[in-house]
A and B are shown apart, each in its own frame.
Chain A
Amino acid sequence: AQTVTQSQPEMSVQEAETVTLSCTYDTSESDYYLFWYKQPPSRQMILVIRQEAYKQQNATENRFSVNFQKAAKSFSLKISDSQLGDAAMYFCAYRLSNYGGSQGNLIFGKGTKLSVKP
């Protein structure tokens, strides 16, 4: 069974600094997607960034980038120039590619709570 592990329950970063959130996963599949979701306090969960496993190039979205190490099954999120609005729970998630049934469902980690200090 696929599992997703986030080993850092909480992280803290100074405003304008860079922080890296860790995620590891376990799968025997080769074709899948990885995601980072952000859930601000009392607000909706939104997708931050997505990585297709077949792509070697790391995904980037403005200040957010990932370090995808397929062999190591590692998928960390780097947030550069941290802003107060980045404070939230961050969830790493895995999904098997191109399955519409149960094997294609999102599997989440427990989350990392990120605090941003002014």
Chain B
Amino acid sequence: ETGVTQTPRHLVMGMTNKKSLKCEQHLGHNAMYWYKQSAKKPLELMFVYNFKEQTENNSVPSRFSPECPNSSHLFLHLHTLQPEDSALYLCASSLGGLATYEQFFGPGTRLTVL
């Protein structure tokens, strides 16, 4: 495996379900990110982790709960979601948090909330 991988690639869940999205990077990076991509809207940064510490929470509702157990893995725990949370969720990683470091993106998880 190379690059940034995300599982599952597609997820359909009811509003009362609890599910988790997983991201794994094989690049030796120290910073990881969650983005939300909705149709006809710019990508929205949700969370940033640097060296396993959360450095950014972009006013994300508490029904989204991130977890970063180590520099290679990032999770997004979902519970009691709303239909408007349906979107493509992208994970990214970079060598560090500075602008000079390129962010590498995963393929995304297409989430549908019924």
Contact = CB atoms under 8 A, between A and B. Distances in A.
Interface residues of B, number: 24
A109 B37 CA distance: 11
Interface of A: 4, 9, 32-33, 37, 42-47, 50, 91, 95-102, 104-111
B40 A110 contact: yes
Contacts of B4: 44
Contacts of A37: 105
Contacts, number: 63
A101 B4 CA distance: 22
Given A105-B56, A108-B42, A110-B40, A100 B96 contact: yes
Given A4-B42, A9-B40, 19 more contacts: A32-B99, A33-B100, A43-B107, A44-B4, A44-B105, A44-B107, A45-B105, A46-B105, A98-B100, A100-B96, A100-B97, A101-B55, A102-B48, A102-B56, A104-B99, A106-B45, A106-B103, A108-B42, A110-B40
B3 interface: yes
